[in-house]
A and B are shown apart, each in its own frame.
Chain A
Amino acid sequence: MFHQTPLKTATVLLLAGLAVAYGLSTGFFGLELLTEVAILAILAIALDLVAGYGGMISLCHGALYGVGAYAFGSATVLLGWGAPAGLAMAVGGGALFAWAIGAVTARTHGIFFIMATLAFGQMAYAYLFESPVFGGNDGLPGVPRLDASALGLDLNDSLTFALTCLALALLAYAVSAALLRSGFGRTLVGIRANEARMRVLGLPVWRHKAAAFGVSGALAGLAGALAAQHTMYISPGLLHWTVSGELLIMVILGGLGTLVGAALGAGVLVFLKHEVSRFTDHWHLVVGLVLIAAVLAGGRGLYGQLEHLWERRRAARRAPPETPAPDEETTGHA
């Protein structure tokens, strides 16, 4: 189950501190990267919430991200609404779309769940790709940024926007962590561990899974709205399944089911991609090799491995626990 351990808190603070320090010391290109990392960190946290803790490996989070971006873009560009309304549309639209997907797919498992989410995502992608209302393949340009001048913030300034995205990533982490520490989150972990038993204990499992997917969709919608404001342009490419695939790589690389690892994975993958692509066009190859190495190293991911080593060290420092007395009742097998 999720526990906000001192190591987790330290890692979150360290990553946030590093990001702020990097933002304050870098130029325009670095701030663009930082913004991308912060937005993808929100999206990766959204995915880890359902995949890492609920066992729902989704291949439609790219679509939820895109739906958020399109909801924001449509509200502001097509309907002429203000950015706050657009933001609400993005979060609400992402949540609603995700809840619907969750409600339909909640009774499927494993590969069938993955394929069902993939199908939903690709349907949304194909619809927007073909839809002239939303600009088809050309997408929608001229997406405005939120006016936060009342708070004394100019979000058209790259540093301010990057730090705002970073603050929202921290908020997304805090909300997800709080949810995972609640009865709702504990039950979600119970579903991942033994869905059938949760049902026999009286839980309407599909409703719980759909709700969790809805929360994840709200976060993905928020990330989409930020992405739309970041580039001030949206296109169907945001919804493509490859975005979902890359997200999954981030989460696995950082540590599936660790929450902070998802954000770390987003940072590592974005910077790795940009650094490697300076030397070769075949950056995918390098990313692939890193992912294979991460999986072969135990599948814990970067943060998961750190946590594992930390726990081992702590266990070694402690006096060996008293071995439980041999079970005098035992005659069967586990």
Chain B
Amino acid sequence: MLEARDLRKSFGALTVTNRVSLEVARGERRVLLGPNGAGKTTLFNLLVGELRADGGQILIDGRDVTGLSVDARARLGLARSYQKNNLFGGLTVRENLSLAAACAQGRARTPWADSLSDRGVAEAVDEVAQRVGLTELLEVPVDTVPYGARRRLEVGLALAARPRVLLMDEPTSGIGPGGIHAFHALLRGLPAELTIVIVEHDMDLAFEVADRVTVLNYGEVVFDGPPREARDSALVREIYLGTWDGDA
């Protein structure tokens, strides 16, 4: 469904993505792990087209999208949420979700009908709002809703885009155990055919939801396998916890 082949990206002398290859099957839940600075967000940026790769290929459903723009890739069903909230400030939660739903349903450019009151868009907004627990806050401006609700809206925007492949960059960052529990439930309720790649630091969540785990370090894939193997891997533990060199 989503494939990266030998992807490379450098900023000057700093290589942030070093020959990364990744193959995510339809309906798979893939978790990307790695310490800060491992290149996880950069990989997402490359996959959606917000950054241009120096080399390598990106394929969606076997189609090479490496040269396509961000919006063209999105129209092929690739959506993402951000580590830091990237919402439509000054608008209500409903208006935020409507913008995403209207884009997905081809209502974003119609000059004769209101996308806010369009039945299909409104139904999609209500459905997504219910899914991410924002029904009560639909009419509230996003700048005034609590942080946790904004994180859920961040994911809601991506869901309202009706993706086939969903990239979620640390969706639980900054929220407490209650929020993480709710996010678990949200993930479990998503359609089985939806392909999901999640960058996540919460190990319990990562190992519970993942069909497969990919670990990045210094821009390279250092592990790719089932979650059980990742949990038992000394290399993964070392990358996350570090090692103490007693001789140093």
Contact = CB atoms under 8 A, between A and B. Distances in A.
Interface of A: 1, 179, 181-187, 189-190, 193-194, 196-205, 208, 211, 324, 326-334
B200 interface: no
Contacts of A324: 136-137, 140, 145-146, 149
A38 B116 CA distance: 31
Nearest to A175: B111
B43 interface: no
Contacts of A328: 148, 176, 178-179
A29 to B, nearest CB: 40
A186 B109 contact: no
A211 B109 CA distance: 10
A133 B185 CA distance: 72
8 contacts: A1-B95, A182-B110, A186-B114, A189-B91, A202-B74, A328-B178, A330-B174, A332-B174
Contacts of B100: 201
Given A182-B114, A193-B88, A202-B75, A329 B109 contact: no
A181 B112 CA distance: 8
A183 B91 contact: no
B176 to A, nearest CB: 5
A329 B103 contact: no
B50 A200 contact: yes
A179 B115 CA distance: 11
Contacts of A185: 111
Interface stretch (B79-87, B123-131, B231-239): B79-87
Given A182-B114, A329-B151, A334-B147, 19 more contacts: A182-B110, A183-B109, A183-B113, A184-B109, A186-B116, A190-B99, A193-B91, A197-B88, A199-B71, A200-B71, A201-B79, A204-B72, A324-B136, A324-B149, A330-B147, A330-B148, A330-B176, A331-B174, A333-B174
Given A183-B115, A198-B99, A334-B85, A329 B175 contact: yes
A184 B106 CA distance: 11
Contact of B108 (A1, A181, A183, A331): A183
Nearest to B175: A329
B164 interface: no
A314 to B, nearest CB: 15
A334 B111 CA distance: 35
B224 to A, nearest CB: 26
Interface in B119-169: 136-137, 140, 145-151, 157, 161
A320 to B, nearest CB: 14
A327 B182 CA distance: 13
B116 A1 contact: yes
Contacts of B7: none
Interface residues of B, number: 55
A98 to B, nearest CB: 16
B104 A202 contact: yes
Contact of A193 (B89, B112, B147, B179): B89
B193 interface: no
A197 B157 CA distance: 10
A304 B146 CA distance: 27
B107 interface: yes
Nearest to A186: B115
B115 A331 contact: no
A182 B149 CA distance: 28
Contact of A182 (B69, B80, B88, B115): B115
Given A1-B95, A187-B108, A201-B99, A182 B113 contact: yes
B88 A183 contact: no
Nearest to A183: B115
Interface string B194-227: 0000000000000000000000000000000000
Nearest to B161: A201
A194 B107 CA distance: 18
A203 B71 contact: yes
Given A187-B108, A199-B70, A202-B71, A331 B176 contact: yes
B111 A184 contact: yes
Contacts of A1: 91, 95, 116
Contact of A327 (B89, B112, B149): B149
B48 to A, nearest CB: 6
Nearest to B103: A201
